[in-house]
C-alpha cells in the first residue's frame, strides 16, 4: 500500500502514518522527495486492511493499493488450478463442462423433457431453479422444495448431477440435500450471510458475478467461501450492466482471461442471461469457450414459448443440439473437448 503525503505535510504527520502502519504489524519504507513524502506500507496482509485507516490521517493526500483485497482466491496464494469435482466430472481440466436446462423447474413433464434433451446433446449437468430470485414479488418464485424433489428424481433416473440456486441462508441445508452444485445468483454475490453459510459445507458452489460488481469484488466474495473451508468454488461470468441495452447484460469476455490470470478457480460462462435473447446465445457461448471458459451454463426449454421464466433467452431443443455440435468443434480447435 502506498501512502502519498500532501505537499508540506509535517514531520509529525508523517510519523503518525508510520506509527499507524507499525501498530498494525507492517513495515514501512520512506521515500522523501523534494516536495512530497511517499510511504510504502509493506507486509503480506496489506490487501486485507482498509485504505481508510491511512486516508483519514491528517496530511495524507491519497492511498493506493498494491496488494489485491482477495487472498485465498488468488493465484499468488495457490498457483495451481483448482479442479472442482462433481461425481466423476471435473471442472477446470481439458473437458469443457456444459450445464443446461430450464431457468426454472416448472413441472415434471417439462423437467424430464429438458433432461432428456440436454443429456442426449452432451450436457454433463442439469440446471433448473427451484428458488428463483425474481425482481418482482408478483413473479413466479419457483416450486421450492417440490422443485428440488423433481431435480432429485431426474438425477436418480438419468444419473445426471444437478445445479440449483439457493437464495436464503436458511435454505442452504435443504438445497444441499438435493443439489450437487449450489448456485449463488448474481443478485446474491455479496450476500455475505449466504456465502458464510455455504463456506461451511462441502458442496461445490457456483458463484455468479454480480452484474454491478468488479472482478476484484467477485474474487473477494469467493474468499468468503474459501475462508469458511469450502474449496469447491466455481466462478460464473453472466454479464454486467453497462449503458448498452441491445443485450440484457454485457458479457464481459475480458473477465475470462483476467480471472484465469489472477485466480486458480475454474470459471464458466452463462451466455443466456447475458444475451437475453435466444438468437444471441450461440455466438456468446462460442466466444466464451474460445476465450478459455471451463464450461457453460445454458438455459434450454422444451417449449420456450410456454416457459414461465426466461423463455425469450431459452434455446429450443434443436437450437441447443446444433450449438453443442459447434461448441465441440471450438473445443477441439483449442485442444479441449466436451
H-helix or E-strand spanning residue 337:
none
SS (H, E, C) 98-139: EEEECCECCCHHHHHHHHHHHHHHCCCEEECECCCCCCCCCC
Q: Which residue number, 9 or 123, has a Cβ lying nearer to ligand PEP?
A: 123
Q: Does 185 bind ligand PEP (CB under 6 A)?
A: yes
What is the C-alpha to C-alpha distance for residues 33 and 38, in angstroms, rounded to an integer? 8
**What is the nearest approach in angstroms of ligand PEP to the Cβ of residue 54?**
36
Q: Does 208 bind ligand PEP (CB under 6 A)?
A: yes
**What is the nearest approach in angstroms of ligand PEP to the Cβ of residue 22?**
44
Binding track over 61-100 against ligand PEP, x by CB under 6 A: ----------------------------------------
**What is the nearest approach in angstroms of ligand PEP to the Cβ of residue 270?**
6
Q: Does 129 bind ligand PEP (CB under 6 A)?
A: yes
What is the C-alpha to C-alpha distance for residues 206 and 308, in angstroms, rounded to an integer? 23
Q: Which residues from 99-118 bind ligand PEP, rule CB under 6 A?
A: 103
Kindly list the distances between the CA atom of residue 301 and the CA atoms of 24, 54, 65, 104, 127, in Å, as whole numbers in the listed order: 55, 53, 46, 9, 11
Q: Which residue number, 43 or 276, has a Cβ lying nearer to ligand PEP?
A: 276
What is the C-alpha to C-alpha distance for residues 231 and 160, in angstroms, rounded to an integer? 22
Q: Which does 238 bind (CB under 5 to 8 A by kind): Mn ion, ligand PEP, none?
A: ligand PEP
Q: Which residues from 44-103 bind Mn ion, rule CB under 5 A?
A: 103
**By beta-carbon distance, which residue lies closest to ligand PEP?**
185
What is the C-alpha to C-alpha distance for residues 176 and 167, in angstroms, rounded to an integer? 12
295 CB burial (10 A radius; 0-12, 13-18, 19+): buried
Judge whether 54 and 14 are in contact, CB under 8 Å: no
Interacting residue with ligand PEP among 71, 248, 264, 273 (CB under 6 A): 273
Binding track over 260-299 against Mn ion, x by CB under 5 A: ----------------------------------------
What is the C-alpha to C-alpha distance for residues 4 and 2, in angstroms, rounded to an integer? 6
**What is the nearest approach in angstroms of Mn ion to the Cβ of residue 149?**
20
Q: Which residue number, 103 or 233, has a Cβ lying nearer to Mn ion?
A: 103
Cα–Cα nearest to 263, from 289, 296, 226: 226
Cα atoms in the Cβ-side hemisphere of radius 13 Å centred on 56: 5
Cα–Cα nearest to 129, from 167, 155, 159, 98: 167
CB count within 10 Å of CB 74 equals 21
Q: Which does 260 bind (CB under 5 to 8 A by kind): ligand PEP, Mn ion, none?
A: none
Q: Which stretch binds Mn ion (CB under 5 A): 229-237, 243-251, 260-268, 305-313?
A: 305-313
Kindly list the distances between the CA atom of residue 37 and the CA atoms of 3, 12, 58, 60, 99, in Å, as whole numbers in the listed order: 9, 12, 14, 10, 54
**What is the nearest approach in angstroms of Mn ion to the Cβ of residue 31?**
52
Interacting residue with Mn ion among 39, 57, 310, 324 (CB under 5 A): 310
Q: Which does 185 bind (CB under 5 to 8 A by kind): ligand PEP, Mn ion, none?
A: ligand PEP
H-helix or E-strand spanning residue 262:
helix 255-262
Interacting residue with ligand PEP among 155, 238, 260, 286 (CB under 6 A): 238
Provide the binding-site residues for Mn ion, judged by CB under 5 A. 103, 310
Provide the binding-site residues for ligand PEP, judged by CB under 6 A. 103, 129, 133, 185-187, 208, 238, 270, 273
Amino acid at each position: 500500500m502506498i501512502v502519498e503525503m500532501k505537499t508540506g505535510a509535517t514531520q509529525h504527520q508523517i510519523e503518525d502514518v508510520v506509527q499507524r502502519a507499525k501498530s498494525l504489524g507492517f513495515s514501512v519504507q520512506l521515500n522523501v522527495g523534494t516536495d512530497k513524502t511517499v510511504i510504502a506500507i509493506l507486509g503480506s496482509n496489506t490487501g486485507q486492511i482498509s485504505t481508510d485507516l491511512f486516508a483519514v490521517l491528517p496530511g495524507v493526500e491519497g492511498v493506493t493499493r498494491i496488494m489485491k483485497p482477495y487472498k485465498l482466491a488468488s493465484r499468488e496464494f495457490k498457483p495451481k488450478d483448482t479442479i472442482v469435482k462433481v461425481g466423476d466430472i471435473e471442472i477446470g481440466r481439458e473437458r469443457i463442462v456444459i450445464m443446461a436446462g430450464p431457468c426454472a423447474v416448472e413441472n415434471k413433464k417439462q423437467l424430464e423433457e429438458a433432461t432428456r434433451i440436454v443429456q442426449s446433446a452432451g450436457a454433463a449437468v442439469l440446471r433448473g431453479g427451484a428458488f428463483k430470485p425474481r425482481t418482482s414479488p408478483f413473479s413466479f418464485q419457483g416450486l421450492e422444495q417440490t422443485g428440488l424433489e423433481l431435480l432429485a428424481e431426474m438425477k436418480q433416473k438419468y444419473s445426471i448431477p444437478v445445479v440449483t440456486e439457493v437464495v436464503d441462508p436458511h435454505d442452504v441445508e435443504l438445497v444441499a440435500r438435493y443439489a450437487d452444485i449450489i448456485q449463488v445468483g448474481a443478485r446474491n454475490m455479496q450476500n455475505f450471510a449466504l456465502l458464510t453459510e455455504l463456506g461451511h459445507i462441502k458442496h461445490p458452489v457456483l458463484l455468479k458475478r454480480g452484474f454491478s460488481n468488479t472482478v476484484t469484488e467477485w474474487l473477494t466474495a469467493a474468499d468468503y467461501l474459501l475462508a469458511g473451508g469450502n474449496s469447491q468454488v466455481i466462478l460464473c461470468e453472466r454479464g454486467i450492466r453497462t449503458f448498452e441495452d441491445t443485450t440484457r447484460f454485457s458479457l464481459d469476455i475480458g473477465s475470462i482471461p483476467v480471472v484465469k490470470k489472477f485466480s486458480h478457480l475454474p470459471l464458466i460462462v452463462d451466455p443466456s442471461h447475458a444475451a437475453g435473447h435466444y438468437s444471441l446465445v450461440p455466438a456468446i457461448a462460442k466466444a466464451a469457450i474460445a476465450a478459455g471458459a471451463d464450461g457453460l451454463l445454458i438455459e434450454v426449454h422444451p417449449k420456450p414459448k410456454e416457459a414461465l421464466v426466461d423463455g425469450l433467452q431459452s434455446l429450443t431443443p434443436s437450437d441447443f443440439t446444433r450449438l453443442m455440435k459447434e461448441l465441440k468443434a471450438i473445443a477441439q480447435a483449442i485442444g479441449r473437448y466436451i
